[in-house]
C-alpha cells in the first residue's frame, strides 16, 4: 500500500489516476442521468381500469394545441374528450403565420391538404424585414430552402379544420362547452371536469389547453401571473392596398424587441399585427408598455414610412383587436404534474423572441399525446410519468427559449445587430435571408447564428454598420412623420 501511495506521487501516475477518477465521475453522472430518464414501467391504472363513461384524457380548449393533442391521442387509441367553449368556425386574434414545424405536422394530419384545397393557405415565398435603421431586404426563400418557411392561414379556417380532424380521428369534440372547474380524486386517480352547461366529464388525465390567460391552470395554481406580452391584429381588405410580398417584419426602434408585421392571405387580404415582447425592466416591453399598443399600432399604419407606403392611402383596415402573449413559460410553475399536462399558450409555449406560438402549440400538443399514449401502456400517470411530456416539448422547441430570451435582450440593447443582419442580406442575397427565416421559424435553433459561417460574416457586418452609423453618421431611413404621441388608448379585444 505504502509503495502504491509512493508511486501515486509520481507525476505521470498521478495524472492517470486523476483521469480515471474524472472518467468514473463522468460515467456515474451519465448513468445517473440515463436512470433518471427511466419512467415507471407499471402503475395502479392499467388498461381496463377506466370507469364507465370516463375518458383517458379530457382536453380543455380546442385551439391548435388542444385539437392536435386530441387528434394524436385518439389516433393512438385513447378515449378523449375535447371541450371548447366557442362554436367553430370562431375567430382568434392572431398574425396567422404558421411556421414550417407546424406545417409538417398539419401535413401528417391531412389538415394541410384540406387548407390547400380550400385555398386557405398562402405559402410565404417573397418576404424579409426592415431593420431599425431603415435597411430593407425582401427576397425569395422557397427555392433556397426547398419549402416555404411559413404560410398564412386565417384562424377561423385553421382551428376549425384541426378540431374537425381530431373529431374524425375519434375525439369526442364538444363545442359550446365552457369548463369552469376541475377536481382531482387522488384515491381513484380521476379528474371530474365541470362545465357552465352543467355537464360533467371524468378523465384519467386533464390537459389544460385553454390559451394564454388559462383560467383553469390559474385556478389549479399552475399559472401564477397574468401574461406580460401583447399583440394586436387588423385585417386589411383585399384590393385596397399596395402589398405584393407574402410576409415582412418591421423593426421600428421605439418598440424593440417587439415588431410589427404584414402577412398576405391567398385572397389578397392582409393581416397587420404589432407584437410587444416583455424585455428589460419589470412591466416593460423594451421602452414601451403594454398600454402603448393602440397608439403604436395606429401610428405605424399612419406614419411608419414603410408600412404606410405598403398599405397605401386607400387601405380599408379593420379596427385594432388585441390579445395577450404568454412567452417562454412566463408565470408557469410547471407544465406537468400527477395526471396533469399544460399545453400551448396555457403553458406559456410562445417563442420569447418572435412571439410565435402556433407551431409550438401544435408540437406541444403532439408531445402531450405521445406522453399520454406511453402512460396508457404502463398504467402510471404520476408526475414521474408525465415528466416525459416535459422532456418531449423541451426537445422539440423548449431548448430554444433560453437563446430566444437572450436574443430579445440583445436586439433591444443593440438594434445595430438587426441593421447588420439586413445589410448582410443585401450583400449575400437570399442565401443569408433563408438562414434568418429558418432560425426565426424554429426550423433551426437560435444557436445556428453562432456557427462560424454565419457568425463571422455577421460580425464583420456589425463593424461595417458601426462605422456607417457612428463614425460616418449616416442618417436613419426609419423616421416616423408627424407622429401622434397619444399613448395609452383603451385596448380592444380580449387583452
Ligand atoms: C394578436 C396575436 C398575433 C399572433 N400572431 C401569431 C402568428 O402570426 N404566428 C404564431 O405562430 N403565433 C401567433 N400568435 C400566438 C398564437 O396565437 C398562439 O400561440 C396560439 O393560438 C396558441 O394556441 P393554443 O391552442 O395554445 O391556444 P388558443 O389558440 O388560445 O386556444 C385556446 C382555446 O381554448 C378555448 N377555451 C378557453 N377557455 C376555455 C374554457 N374555460 N372551456 C373551454 N374552452 C376554453 C378558447 O376558446 C380557444 O379555442 C399571436 C397571438 C396574438 C395574440
Domain ranges of the chain: 45-96+154-226+326-412
For residue 489, pLDDT over 80 is answered with no
Q: What kind of fold does domain 45-96+154-226+326-412 have according to CATH?
A: FAD/NAD(P)-binding domain (3.50.50)
Could you give the CA distance from residue 60 to residue 179 in angstroms, rounded to a whole number? 7
Confirm or reject: Cβ of 64 under 6 Å from ligand 1: yes
**Atom of ligand 1 at shortest range from CA of 177:** 43
pLDDT at 145: 62
Those residues with Cβ within 8 angstroms of residue 133's Cβ, 6 or more apart along the chain or in another chain: 415, 416, 419, 465, 469, 476, 477, 478
**Mean pLDDT along residues 48-56:** 95
Q: What is the mean pLDDT of the chain?
A: 90
Which of 198, 229, 355 best tests ligand 1's pocket when mutated (most atoms within 8 Å of CB)? Answer: 355
**Mean pLDDT along residues 197-217:** 97
Residue length of the chain: 495
SS3 117: helix
Those residues with Cβ within 8 angstroms of residue 3's Cβ, 6 or more apart along the chain or in another chain: none
**Atom 21 (ligand 1) nearest CA:** 358
- Looking at 111-254, list the stretches that DSSP marks H as alpha helix, in order from N- to C-terminal side: 111-117, 142-145, 155-168, 215-219
Confirm or reject: Cβ of 182 under 6 Å from ligand 1: no
pLDDT at 37: 64
pLDDT at 124: 86
Q: pLDDT band at residue 436, thresholds of 50, 70 and 90?
A: confident
Cell numbers given for 318: 379593420
Cell numbers given for 229: 406580452
Report CA 330 to chain centroid distance, whole Å.
Answer: 12
pLDDT at 139: 86
Confirm or reject: Cβ of 83 under 6 Å from ligand 1: yes
The answer to which of 3-17, 76-90, 112-126, 272-286 has the lowest mean pLDDT is 3-17
For residues 334, 336, 338 and 339, what is the CA-based torsion angle, rounded to 10 degrees?
140
pLDDT at 288: 97
Taking alpha carbons only, the member of 266, 286, 283, 282 closest to residue 274 is: 286
The share of the chain scoring above pLDDT 70, in percent, equals 88
pLDDT at 38: 84
Helix axes 64-75, 100-109, angle to 10 degrees: 40
The answer to which of 40-44, 273-277, 440-444, 477-481 has the lowest mean pLDDT is 477-481
**Mean pLDDT along residues 82-95:** 97
Q: pLDDT band at residue 488, thresholds of 50, 70 and 90?
A: very low
Confirm or reject: Cβ of 348 under 6 Å from ligand 1: no
Cell numbers given for 462: 456589425
Q: Which residue has the cell 436613419?
A: 476
For residue 363, pLDDT over 50 is answered with yes
**Atom of ligand 1 at shortest range from CA of 86:** 47
Could you give the CA distance from residue 36 to residue 28 in angstroms, rounded to a whole number? 12
For residue 10, pLDDT over 70 is answered with no
**Mean pLDDT along residues 144-164:** 89
Confirm or reject: Cβ of 278 under 6 Å from ligand 1: no
For residues 197, 200, 204 and 208, what is the CA-based torsion angle, rounded to 10 degrees?
20
**Atom 3 (ligand 1) nearest CA:** 94
The share of the chain scoring above pLDDT 90, in percent, equals 81
Bridging pattern class, strands 200-208 and 340-342: parallel
Q: pLDDT band at residue 490, thresholds of 50, 70 and 90?
A: very low
**Atom 6 (ligand 1) nearest CA:** 95
Phi, psi of 334, rounded to the nearest 5 degrees: -160, 150
Q: Which residue has the higher pLDDT, 159 or 486?
A: 159
CA angle 409, 414, 420 (to 5 degrees): 120
Amino acid at each position: 500500500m505504502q509503495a502504491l501511495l509512493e508511486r501515486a506521487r509520481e507525476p505521470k501516475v498521478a495524472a492517470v489516476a486523476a483521469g480515471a477518477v474524472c472518467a468514473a465521475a463522468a460515467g456515474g453522472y451519465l448513468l445517473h442521468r440515463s436512470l433518471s430518464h427511466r419512467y415507471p414501467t407499471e402503475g395502479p391504472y392499467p388498461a381496463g381500469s377506466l370507469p364507465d363513461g370516463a375518458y383517458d384524457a379530457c382536453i380543455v380548449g380546442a385551439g391548435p394545441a388542444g385539437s392536435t393533442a386530441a387528434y394524436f391521442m385518439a389516433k393512438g387509441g385513447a378515449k378523449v374528450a375535447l371541450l371548447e367553449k366557442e362554436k367553430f368556425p370562431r375567430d382568434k386574434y392572431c398574425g396567422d403565420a404558421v411556421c414550417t414545424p407546424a406545417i409538417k405536422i398539419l401535413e401528417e394530419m391531412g389538415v394541410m391538404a384540406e387548407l390547400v384545397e380550400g385555398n386557405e393557405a398562402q405559402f410565404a415565398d417573397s418576404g424579409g424585414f426592415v431593420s431599425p435603421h431603415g435597411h430593407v431586404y425582401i427576397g425569395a426563400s422557397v427555392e433556397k430552402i426547398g419549402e416555404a418557411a411559413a404560410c398564412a392561414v386565417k384562424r377561423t379556417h385553421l382551428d376549425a379544420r384541426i378540431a374537425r380532424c381530431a373529431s374524425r380521428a375519434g375525439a369526442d369534440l364538444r363545442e359550446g362547452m365552457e369548463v369552469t372547474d376541475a377536481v382531482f380524486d387522488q384515491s381513484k386517480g380521476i379528474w371530474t371536469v365541470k362545465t357552465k352547461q352543467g355537464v360533467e366529464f371524468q378523465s384519467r388525465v386533464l390537459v389544460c389547453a385553454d390559451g394564454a390567460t388559462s383560467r383553469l391552470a390559474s385556478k389549479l395554481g399552475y399559472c401564477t401571473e397574468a401574461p406580460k406580452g401583447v399583440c394586436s391584429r387588423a385585417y386589411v381588405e383585399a384590393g385596397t392596398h399596395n402589398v405584393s410580398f407574402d410576409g415582412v417584419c418591421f423593426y421600428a426602434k421605439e418598440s424593440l424587441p417587439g415588431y410589427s408585421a404584414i402577412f398576405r392571405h391567398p385572397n389578397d387580404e392582409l393581416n397587420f399585427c404589432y407584437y410587444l415582447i416583455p424585455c428589460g425592466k419589470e412591466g416593460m416591453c423594451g421602452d414601451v408598455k403594454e398600454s402603448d399598443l393602440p397608439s403604436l399600432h395606429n401610428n405605424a399604419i399612419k406614419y411608419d414610412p414603410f408600412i404606410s407606403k405598403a398599405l397605401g392611402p386607400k387601405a380599408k383596415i379593420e379596427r385594432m383587436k388585441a390579445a395577450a402573449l404568454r412567452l417562454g413559460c412566463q408565470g408557469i410553475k410547471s407544465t406537468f404534474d400527477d395526471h396533469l399536462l399544460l399545453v400551448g399558450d396555457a403553458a406559456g409555449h410562445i417563442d420569447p423572441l418572435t412571439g410565435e406560438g402556433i407551431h409550438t402549440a401544435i408540437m406541444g400538443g403532439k408531445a402531450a399525446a405521445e406522453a399520454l399514449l406511453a402512460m396508457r401502456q404502463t398504467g402510471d400517470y404520476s408526475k414521474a410519468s408525465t415528466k416525459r411530456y416535459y422532456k418531449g416539448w423541451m426537445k422539440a422547441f423548449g431548448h430554444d427559449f433560453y437563446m430566444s430570451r437572450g436574443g430579445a435582450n440583445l436586439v433591444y440593447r443593440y438594434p445595430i445587430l438587426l441593421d447588420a443582419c439586413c445589410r448582410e442580406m443585401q450583400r449575400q442575397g437570399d442565401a443569408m435571408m433563408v438562414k434568418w427565416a429558418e432560425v426565426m421559424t424554429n426550423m433551426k435553433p437560435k444557436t445556428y447564428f453562432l456557427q462560424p459561417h454565419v457568425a463571422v460574416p455577421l460580425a464583420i457586418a456589425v463593424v461595417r454598420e458601426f462605422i456607417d452609423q457612428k463614425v460616418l453618421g449616416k442618417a436613419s431611413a426609419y423616421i416616423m412623420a408627424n407622429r401622434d404621441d397619444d399613448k395609452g388608448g383603451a385596448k380592444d379585444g380580449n387583452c
